[in-house]
A and B are shown apart, each in its own frame.
Chain A
Amino acid sequence: MIYMSSLLKDLRYILLLVQWDLTKIVRRVIFVAMRSTWFVIQVVFFGPVIAQMVNARGIGLDVSSYYNFYLLGIYTSILFTITASRAYDIAEEFEEGIIEYQLSLPMNRKILALGRAIGSGIASTLFTLPMFLTVIILTREFDLLAIAISIVSALIFSIAISGFVLTTTLSIKSSDATDIIMGVLDAILVRLSTIFYPAVILKNIAPYYYAAIINPLSHLADLLRIFYSFEEFKEIVVINPEAMASYILGLFIGFTVLAMYVIEKKIEGGGWR
C-alpha cells in the first residue's frame, strides 16, 4: 500500500478516473466514426457551397474567410455533440451498476465528480483532435501557440459540458429523459449560436442574438476564430476575446463545482428508470 498526502492522493484518484474514461473510449468508436463522417461531409461538400452562397462581403469577409468561419463553427458543434453524448455512456454505466461501484470506492465524492468530468472532457477532446487537425490544415493556420491555446480552450469547454452532463444524467436517472434533454439541448444550442451565423448578422433578430450571446457554443466558436484570424474576425464575434475566455473559464468552474456539489450531496445508487 502506498501512503501519501491527501492532495497527492486526490490527484492520484483523478488520474485513475481519467484513465477509466480513456480506457473506455473503445465503446464509442462507432458513434465517433459516424460523427467524423458527418464532419467530413460538412467541411468537404457543404462548407465550400455555403461559403459561395453567403454574401460574406456584406459583413466585411471574403468567401475563404467565411469558409474558415464555418470550419471552426462546425468543429465547436461536433465537440459539443460528442461531449454531450457522454450522457449515454453515463446512462449505460448507471444501468450496468458502474456508478454504484464508483460511489462505493474509497475516495471523496467531489474528487469522483471532478475526475469523471476531466476524464470525460479529455476523452471527448481526444476524439475531436483529428477533426481539429483537419480544420488547421484546411485553414492553413499553423501558429503553434494558437493551436495550443485552442486545444486547451476546447478541453476546458469540454470538461465544463461534461460536468453539466454528469450532473444532469445522474440527477434525472432516466434513459428516456436523458435522450430527450440531450437531443433538445443539442438542437437548440447549435442553432441559437454563432456556429453558422456571425453575431453581426444575428443582431437583426433580437431574440436570436441574445440567445447567441449567452450560448456557450458561441463563445467557444468565436474564441477559436479569434485565435486564428484575429484581424479578420474581431468585428464580427459575439463579444471581446477576454470576455469570451472568461465565459468559458466561468462555465468550467461553474459546472464542475455544480457536479462536485450534486454528486457529493444528492447522488446515490438505485432508482434508474
Chain B
Amino acid sequence: MSEKVIEIINLVKKFGNFVAVDNISLTIYSGEIFGLLGPNGSGKTTTLLTIATVYKPTSGDVRVYGYSVVSDGDKVRKIVGIAFQEPKALGIDKPYDLLLWHAKVVGYSGDEARKVVKDVMEDLGLWEHRNKYFYQLSGGTRKKVEIAKVLIQKPKVAIFDEPTAQVDVVSKHYLWDKIKELKEEGSTIIIATNDMFEAERMCERIAIVYKGKVKAIGTIKELKDFVPLGDTIELELASYADQHVLDILSRFGKVQGLGNKVLIYVNRGEEVAIDIIDTLRRSGVKIVRIMVKEPSLDDVFFYITGAKLKEEIS
C-alpha cells in the first residue's frame, strides 16, 4: 500500500446553519490522481479549501503527510498547492507579473522564477497574453493562468478545482496531459469535478460527493460494480431468440429479447459473458456477436446518490 498523503477525518464544515461538508472521512495515497466527483454545491470545493488551509474545519481534521490543517497550517501550506475554481487575480493584474510573484513566493530565486514562468507560460500558450490585463483575458485563458500557478509550484500535493471548466476541447486535453505529467514528477493530485468524462479520463480513484457527504469511494471499475445489474450484455444470435433461449439466459440476469438480439442485465459483465458463451454453446445456440457494455459514470452517480434529474435542476 502506498503512503497515506491525505487523511480526512470526520471533517465537518458549517457556514452558519448550512452544513457544507457533513462528516467526511477518506484517505488519499501517494502518487495517485484522486477525484472528488459531485454536482455544484456538493461540498467538493469546501473540502479542497480545507485541505489547502483556506477554510478552518468546524470539527474533525485533515492531515497532510501527518500534519494537521488545524495545528500545523504552515507546514501543510508548504506541501499543498491549489488552482482555484475561480481564477484569483485583480482586473489590473498582468499574467506574467502575477505568475512571477507567485513563483518567488513559492521559493524560486529571481532568475529561476523568470525562467520557470516563461517556460510554463509558453507551454500553456499564455506567453502572448503575458502583458495583457486580466480583465482582457477570456475565461479559458484566465483558467490556464490559475493552473500555471500549480505547474510552476510543483507541490507535493496539487489540488485542481474544476481544472478545465471554461477551457476549449483542445486545451482541455493538453491540460489533462500536463496534470498527468505533474503526477509523473511525483505530485499527488486531487481533482474536483462535475464532469464525468474528466473524472473517468483522469482519476484513478473517485469519491462521489453529494450534499456534503461521501456516498462512495473506489476505482472507476469498483464504482461501476456498485450498480446492480449495471452491465449490459448484448447478444446477437444466428436465429430468433425463442422463449427456450430466454429461459436459459434468465438465470444470468434480467433478460430482454428483441428478435435475434438479446439484452441481459448483469453484474460483472466480463465474467458472466464467458459463462453465457459456454452455456449457449452447450445448448447448441450459435452466437454471431457478443458485446459487454459497462454503465456510464452518470449511471453510477445517479444510482449512488439516488438523485433525480429534476432534483438536480431545482
Contacts and interface: CB of A to CB of B under 8 A. Distances in A.
Given A2-B108, A27-B92, A271 B53 contact: no
Nearest to A98: B88
Interface string B97-116: 10001001111110010000
Contacts of A24: 90, 92
Interface in A65-86: none
Nearest to B146: A101
A104 B109 contact: no
Contact of A2 (B49, B77, B84, B109): B109
Contacts, number: 75
Interface string A119-148: 000000000000000000000000000000
A92 B91 CA distance: 11
Given A1-B108, A100-B49, A271-B15, A105 B77 contact: yes
A40 B272 CA distance: 88
Given A92-B90, A106-B78, A108-B74, A19 B101 contact: yes
A103 interface: yes
B158 interface: no
Contacts of A93: 90
Contact of B86 (A12, A23, A97): A97
Contacts of A268: 54-56
Contact of B88 (A2, A19, A96): A96
B88 A101 contact: yes
Given A100-B84, A268-B54, A106 B106 contact: yes
B54 A103 contact: yes
Interface in B15-55: 15, 49, 52-55
A13 B105 contact: yes
B139 interface: no
B82 interface: yes
A206 B74 CA distance: 49
B90 A96 contact: yes
A249 B89 CA distance: 34
Interface in A6-21: 12-13, 16, 19-20
A30 interface: no
Contacts of A271: 15
A105 B112 CA distance: 19
A219 interface: no
B60 interface: no
B295 interface: no
A256 to B, nearest CB: 19
Contacts of A97: 84, 86, 88
Given A16-B101, A101-B84, A106-B105, A1 B112 contact: yes
Contacts of A53: none
Nearest to B16: A271
A270 interface: yes
B104 A16 contact: yes
Given A1-B112, A101-B84, A104-B52, A27 B15 contact: no
Contact of B15 (A23, A109, A270): A270
A11 B290 CA distance: 68
Contacts of B107: 1-2, 106
Nearest to A89: B90
B228 to A, nearest CB: 39
B137 to A, nearest CB: 14
Contacts of A16: 101, 104-105
B253 interface: no
B257 interface: no
Interface of A: 1-2, 12-13, 16, 19-20, 23-24, 26-27, 92-93, 96-98, 100-101, 103-109, 268-271
11 contacts: A12-B104, A16-B104, A23-B101, A96-B90, A98-B88, A98-B89, A100-B54, A101-B88, A106-B106, A109-B73, A109-B74
